Amino acid sequence: MKRALLIVNLGTPNKPTYFSVFNYLRQFLMDKRVININPILRFILVYFIICPTRSFSSTKVYKKLWSNETGSPLLHNTKKLAEKLQSKLPEYIVEYAMRYQNPSIENILNKLLIQNPDEIIILPLFPHYAAATTGSVYEEVSRILSKKWVVPKIKFINQFYDNDKFIDAWVEKAKKFDINSYDKIIFSYHGIPNSHVDNVYEDSICSDHDCEIKITEINKFCYKATTYETTKLLASRLNINPENYVVTYQSRLTNKWLTPFTDEVLKSIAGEGNKSVLVFSPAFTSDCLETIIEIGDEYNELFINSGGQQLDYVESLNYSDLWSDAIIDLIE
């Protein structure tokens, strides 16, 4: 049987220029699964308010993030991960794509289909299911395949927040740090709108389901519930007491997103006299703007200006051996 594996990451501008950033933000924010409001309002908001203004500030950040040798860290890390997987899976065709910008899912799927595989495994590199990430990848794959006369067997992997080898990979990354030397540990996840977790439930909302406490049959696709579960698994493996860590959410667009917000928690714990923090970002399997710049630079400056002394962050899994082993475990 000829099998193909397509790993998919979120995306990145093609270049750190205003128009490239504008195009990336436009494509990203026009996705109805990202901003799920009236299409006309979304068009006005994205084209005339968010993109024209945010593209200027974001371009400055992307220029800071960009490497002269390897370009976008997210794109580079995803490419290297695909290469490592191909070396470990010689019987597979391994490709990578971005949900937004390049290489596009459509181009890569077409490339795979030409090779006539019996099965294509689609793995979005997001540990926790969310409609705006994994759900969006599935919708795009389905849109593309719906136009094809011949469609091979398709296997979707929708989340892996509790996979043992995924947890192992993060534990390995944490070994670089003396965890007991930090006053607080922060598990910072990418934020999403409250409405996105509420929409998981037919006749209730997220706050009705004890998502901070346990995974159930009802909340098993709730982003909040699965991020808390990942945190508990990591804390258990790393022997971190519950009173020593906080689960937070970063990168919000409005105050109607999941709380507590990472920046506000950092200010608060610094004000309480905590001098050192270690930040994990288990939702990000590849280092990117949100880890390198937002946590490594912006939150570090915020914490120190609020009275703290040291903020370190655990680098993402990127293309580590244990992370590639975890992916192999997921697909086989």
Per-residue model confidence as pLDDT tens digits over 144-165:
999 999 999 999 999 999 999 9
Stretch 325-330: mean pLDDT: 98
Gap between the terminal Cα atoms of the chain: 14
**Which pLDDT value is given to residue 8?**
98
**Which pLDDT value is given to residue 267?**
98
Structure tokens given for 72: 């976008």
Stretch 238-248: mean pLDDT: 97
Name the one residue in this structure whose structure tokens are 């975890």: 326
Mean per-residue pLDDT over the chain, rounded: 97
pLDDT band at 318, cuts 50/70/90?
Answer: very high
Structure tokens given for 197: 């977790």
**Which pLDDT value is given to residue 309?**
98
Stretch 34-61: mean pLDDT: 96
Stretch 58-84: mean pLDDT: 97
Helix (H, G, I), strand (E, B) or coil at 126: coil
**Which pLDDT value is given to residue 113?**
98
Stretch 37-59: mean pLDDT: 96
pLDDT band at 228, cuts 50/70/90?
Answer: very high
pLDDT digits (tens, 9 = 90+) for 8-45: 999 999 999 999 999 999 999 999 999 999 999 999 99
- Angle of helix 134-145 relative to helix 105-114, nearest 10 degrees, comes to 50
Stretch 124-140: mean pLDDT: 98
Predicted TM-score (pTM) of this structure: 0.97
**Which pLDDT value is given to residue 203?**
93
CA distances (Å), origin 131, targets 72, 93, 197, 222: 25, 27, 9, 10
**Which pLDDT value is given to residue 135?**
98
What domains can you pick out in the chain, each with its CATH number?
3-159 (3.40.50.1400), 164-313 (3.40.50.1400)
**Cis-peptide, bond into residue 39, ω within 30° of zero:** no
Measured CA to CA, the distance from residue 61 to residue 159 in angstroms comes to: 30
**Which pLDDT value is given to residue 73?**
98
**Which pLDDT value is given to residue 216?**
97
**184-190 β-sheet, strand order:** 245-250, 184-190, 276-280, 310-313
Helix (H, G, I), strand (E, B) or coil at 239: coil
